[in-house]
Chains A and B, each alone.
Chain A
Amino acid sequence: MCSKYHALNQIIASILVNSIYAMINYPVVLINTLLAPLSLLIIVTFASHGTLLPIAAEGAIIMNVISSGTSLQGDLSHLKNDMKVQEMIVSSPTGAGIYVTGMAISELVYSIPTLSVLVILNIIFVKVTYLAGLYICMDVGVVFIFSTSLGFLLSTFSSDIVESWAFSGILSPLLATIPPVYYPISYIPYPYRYLAYLSPTTYAAEIAQSAAGLVYISYVNLILAWGILISVTFFVLFIAITRSRWVDV
């Protein structure tokens, strides 16, 4: 491929615009990304007299990754609807896949300071083997693909920033705050436990908690959790690829 159309440069452009330059020009955004996962972590830790700290520390990473998806949705909508950047990108050699990949990575780059703090907390309070750590990273990686696919899909349908804020406001509590991400599912009384299983993050949290030895899940349930998490992720990814609107109709 001609260097002029090099995909890496196009991905770097998205990362520069959506994270690096924002952090350089407005360092205050670093505090913004840190506060949401840390505040819930602190509340759950204090409310449980410290007993739930390891689970909450793992949950904070999952919430952070979900936040990447909701932020992606907001950022893409903002760039598309308010600045018409997406239209300029459409009429350029950058394709939808490259643009969204770059923007999704930019959300990760944006949350590097937060992730660093959370990883340190996890190393201190959730003692896992390297293998289990890798296993949890895979779990978090699938959640990242799920949340960013959902974010991209919704961004292509939002017509203005108010709608985009509404999507973010709905997604965050439904996927990260209410489901048992910061605490074990056993804390939820039975009739409501079934509702918790409607959120894919419940499965992701169970997988991470069991890998760290914080809760016990049978192999059957573990396989089921992976199966559902991966299926939902592929389904959302498929819908995002096939139904999202890069070119208006």
Chain B
Amino acid sequence: MHIEVKKISKIYENNKYALKGISLDIDANGVFSIIGKNGAGKTTLVRILATQLMPTSGYAKINGYDLLTESKKIRRFIAAVPQEARTIPWLTPIQTVLSYLMWRGYSYSEAKEKAKDSLRMLNLEDIENKKTRKLSGGQKRKVIVATILASDATLIFLDEPTTGLDYLSRKELWNLLYTMKKDRLIILTTHYLEEAENLGDTICILNKGRVVDMGTILELRKKIKYSYCMKVFSNDFKISNLDGYIKRVSSNEIQIFTSGKYVYDIANRLISEKIRFTFQEVSLTNIFEFLLEDDIDVQ
């Protein structure tokens, strides 16, 4: 799967810029995670690529097909779950998946067979004949994902698919996405940075309609100067001559971003002063904060 985006911009009717000249080149299967604050332009970008929204300027090609002039061809191999997608309350899960597959062109018998398989894979077979309005929020979300899973689409857009799900349901969906991503490209927007880090083969950080940075988690780690984050649980810990940043998280917790060389020294001092601490490689959350937040204390 190959997506080429060149200088895509979107200005809404109220003259608000949602995207400002975005360019991307994605040339692999797997999960492409898009993260960013509210209003960063994630949904707008996904809706444009999923052929639901016209860009104001710029162009994009998906597998060589022009997004604007050959959208019909693109729609044969894409599927999208919008951010606020809901199950149709008067349908059962099997009816939901089956009818979506028929909309994709499958015959009734083919669709029914595939729908059953898909619901089985998501452990939804016990409730396949229950009306969706009677299902829990997590089950409804899984039914929507089942429709996409059952389809033959090789490019899938999932706009915040796990929002509102409890941790276990999210983990269940992650496992499913791990399986799905082997032979498809999944464009995933999420507010859960842990989700983007765990699932994303490539992570794209958007802010105010622009790409701030993009790459694998290892590549993104290299973009910031310090590779370790120490959490120190103390309200009066002072440090001088540090090669790094200190960020106060709360009255009794600070985060120290520094290089591996200093971690050892600081850890020794903290142990001798009997101050509780943890340390790890910088996470996507740390990278995100570094790239987007302005409120980091610099020493």
Q: Could you list which residues of chain A lie within 8 angstroms of chain B, going by C-beta atoms? A: 2-6, 9-10, 12-14, 16-17, 21-22, 25-26, 79, 82-85, 87-95, 99, 247-249
Contacts and interface: CB of A to CB of B under 8 A. Distances in A.
Given A17-B91, A92-B75, A248-B53, 19 more contacts: A4-B105, A9-B107, A9-B111, A12-B108, A13-B99, A13-B102, A16-B98, A17-B99, A21-B95, A22-B90, A25-B131, A84-B86, A88-B82, A91-B52, A92-B79, A99-B103, A247-B71, A248-B54, A249-B53
Interface of B: 47, 50-54, 71-72, 75-76, 78-88, 90-92, 95, 98-100, 102-108, 111, 131, 147, 152, 157
A87 B105 contact: no
A12 B110 CA distance: 14
B87 A93 contact: no
Contacts of B100: 13, 88, 92
A2 to B, nearest CB: 8
A107 B287 CA distance: 53
Nearest to A10: B103
Q: Which 10 A-B pairs have the closest CB atoms?
A: A13-B102, A91-B80, A5-B105, A84-B82, A83-B86, A91-B50, A84-B85, A4-B105, A13-B103, A87-B82
Contacts of B108: 9, 12
B113 to A, nearest CB: 14
A87 B95 contact: no
A85 B88 contact: yes
A28 to B, nearest CB: 11
Instruction: State the majority secondary structure of interface residues on B.
Output: loop
Given A10-B103, A85-B88, A88-B100, A5 B76 contact: yes
A10 to B, nearest CB: 5
Instruction: State the majority secondary structure of interface residues on A.
Output: helix
Given A83-B86, A84-B85, A9 B53 contact: no
B38 to A, nearest CB: 19
Given A12-B108, A247-B54, A248-B53, A89 B157 contact: no
A177 B22 CA distance: 53
A85 B84 CA distance: 10
Contact of A90 (B52, B76, B85, B102): B52
Contacts of A85: 85, 88
B47 A82 contact: no
Contacts of A249: 53-54
A92 B104 contact: yes
B107 A6 contact: yes
26 contacts: A5-B76, A5-B105, A9-B102, A9-B105, A12-B102, A21-B91, A21-B92, A25-B131, A83-B85, A84-B84, A84-B86, A85-B85, A85-B88, A87-B47, A88-B79, A89-B103, A90-B52, A90-B80, A91-B78, A91-B80, A91-B157, A92-B100, A93-B75, A247-B53, A248-B54, A249-B54
Contacts of B81: 88
Nearest to B95: A21
A93 B76 contact: yes
B51 A247 contact: yes
A83 B54 contact: no
Nearest to B85: A84
A161 to B, nearest CB: 12
A5 B47 CA distance: 22
Contacts of A25: 90-92, 131
A4 B80 contact: no
B46 to A, nearest CB: 10
Given A93-B75, A93-B105, A249-B54, A88 B88 contact: no
Contacts of A12: 102, 108
A42 B107 CA distance: 43
A93 B101 CA distance: 10
A94 B104 contact: yes
B79 A91 contact: yes
A93 B152 CA distance: 11
A87 B86 contact: no
Nearest to B49: A91
Residue among A83, A92, A95 facing the most chain B CB atoms (10 A cut-off): A92
Contacts of B76: 5, 93
Given A4-B152, A5-B105, A88-B81, A17 B88 contact: yes
Contact of B87 (A3, A9, A83): A83
B104 A16 contact: no
Contacts of A82: 86
Contacts of A90: 50-52, 75, 80
B14 to A, nearest CB: 13
B103 A4 contact: no
A83 B88 contact: yes
A89 B50 CA distance: 11
